[in-house]
Amino acid sequence: MTDGPGHATYVDRALDLFADFGDREALVGGGRRITYTEAAALVRAMAAALTRHGVRPGSAVLVTVANAVEGPLLQLALHLIGCRTMWVAPVTARREVDEFLRRARPDALVYDARDPASLGPELTAALPGVPVCCLGPGGAGPDLTAATDPAGSVALPAAVRAPESFLQTSGTTGTPKLVHHTESFYAQILTLAADFRAAGFPLLRHLSHSPMWLASGQITTLFNLFTGGVLFLRDDWDPVAFVATVQRERINSTFVTPPMLYELLDHPALVGADFSAMFMFNVGAGPAAPARLRQAIARFGPVLRIVYGLSEAVVITALPGLIDDPEHPQRLRSCGRPYGDVRIEIRDDDGTVLPPGRDGEVWVHTRLSFAGYHGQPELTAQTLVDGWVRTRDIGHLDDDGFLYLVDRAHDMIVTHRRNWAIFCRPIEDALAGHPQVRAAAVIGVPDETVGEVPYAYVVTAPDATVTEAELIDLVTAELNEMWAPAGVEFVDRLPVNRSVKVDKRALRAQYAARGAAAVGT
């Protein structure tokens, strides 16, 4: 336990677990292999170093770190002090950074100085006078990975605050939101891990591509550490490296998105590869095609586990031991049943609970839900209602309690192998900023490689000379490559509905009809 008169946190309990796990391996990544004994020492040393450099209980610490092996230990160190961690994704669009800083109001900054694409230098410049620490040498602050604390304890101030985290997400307009998770969220992860250990499941050797700035990355990382398993961290997705790691390290647990799964299934590296150690092959963050799931079941066996969750309610449903059941073929489209203490209701627009088989909005009640959106009380009140989370997803339950999602209520594009969410409005605003553009509308269209990509319809001035390539370059410069439209179609006008709003349903139908016509030629 941590010395001193401060409030004992979930981290103190975690460090006791680490002491019990001893010299068992805990973390592997970036060329490092860290035992639980070493992990506990580094958590305490990082906490001491952060305290020496001005970080205090209650400090709001902005963290921009991808999937570094020290990232989970940094989170534990900051929470040991009693900080509020605020994680910003390294892929955050450039125009969102200022809004994020305005909303977060950080008291300190930690970034990975070893990452050449890090936002750290930009954020350092935008936060003059704010204490800065780094993972790795050569940054604007001291290297926390080299921290040592010979005494083996941290002298904390008496008024230690309960730790909490704010994790970045986005709303329908693309405006950054900070999803607030309190210490009770992390204490619940400890409880789930204890239940897992008590059930006698094998120790996990989990290969993770989910960084800590994602809510799914937080629960995946900490759950695996709290069960005493080995967490293998990779920042990049590469099927060849994935297969090699699974075989070399006898990986028995992992998580992939549908595009990652598809790429893996289609890659020659999978031919003859040994996946016999696999115990739990999680698939989530987007819908997976039943045909591809059947291929995965045939290749890996009944170890696939479909999961569904949000930043606001991290684990909602799970469908373990997925099989191609001829008696229930529709279940390959299901997200599974409620996980743990989760309760699910399907409600109509008036809040009335709907019977099985009827589509409506998915409402969720769970102890793993968020506490609100930082600095956005009205949005919090709209989303968190009497302890229930409105997911804004549309779906239904069947008679056996399986959940089926049929649509997303938000105008969101899920893209990239890692299933990152991007939104139409920032792209439309960037396009409309060109002096020759009169109007723009963006939709998500299917893509075999990354799931979905943006596609733009643009109305230009009569004498416009702007080209498709120029507009794509404009979006790339203002946001980044992930947000750039896969195509730009110039039209005379945008369709509108009876409310005189752009009718994106008509645009999607227009795009689909064009594709169908192309197939028929």
- What's the CATH architecture for 10-198? 3-Layer(aba) Sandwich (3.40)
Least confident segment among 5-14, 22-31, 133-142, 306-315: 5-14
Name every residue whose Cβ is closer than 8 Å to that of residue 182 and which is 6 or more positions away in sequence: 162, 164, 371
The structure's pTM equals 0.80
Structure tokens at 342: 């989760």
- Per residue in 225-238, pLDDT tens? 999 999 999 988 89
Res. 332: pLDDT tops 50: yes
**CA distance to 26, 33, 36, per residue, from 203 (Å):** 11, 17, 14
Q: Alpha-carbon distance 85 to 62, whole Å?
A: 6
Residues 6+ apart with CB under 8 A from 39: 18, 26, 27, 73, 225
Band the pLDDT of 521: cuts 50, 70, 90. very low
What mean pLDDT, rounded, does the chain reach?
87
Select the CATH number that applies to the domain covering 237-408 from these four: 3.40.50.11310, 1.10.10.10, 3.40.50.12780, 3.40.50.10800.
3.40.50.12780
Say if CB 302 and CB 332 are below 8 A apart: no
Contact 178, 167 (CB under 8 A): yes
Residue 54: left if φ>0, alpha if ψ -120 to 50, beta else—which one? Answer: left
Residue 470: the pLDDT is 96
Mean pLDDT, rounded, for 408-416: 65
pLDDT at 519: 39
Establish whether domains 10-198 and 237-408 are of one fold. Answer: yes
The pLDDT value recorded for residue 85 is 95
CA atoms within 13 A on the CB side of 347: 16
Cβ atoms 81, 8 nearer than 8 A: no
- Tens of pLDDT, residue by residue over 293-327, are 888 999 999 999 999 999 999 999 999 998 888 88
pLDDT of residue 5: 42
Q: Answer for the pair 403, 436: CB distance below 8 angstroms, yes or no.
A: no
Residue with tokens 């981290």: 11
Query: For position 246, what pLDDT does the model report?
Result: 98
Edge-to-edge strands of the sheet including 488-490?
Answer: 437-447, 451-460, 488-490
pLDDT at 214 over 90: no
Nearest one of 231, 233, 282 to 260, comparing CA atoms: 282
User: Helix, strand or coil for residue 91?
Assistant: coil
Q: 413-520 in CATH: which number?
A: 3.30.300.30
Domain ranges of the chain: 10-198, 237-408, 413-520
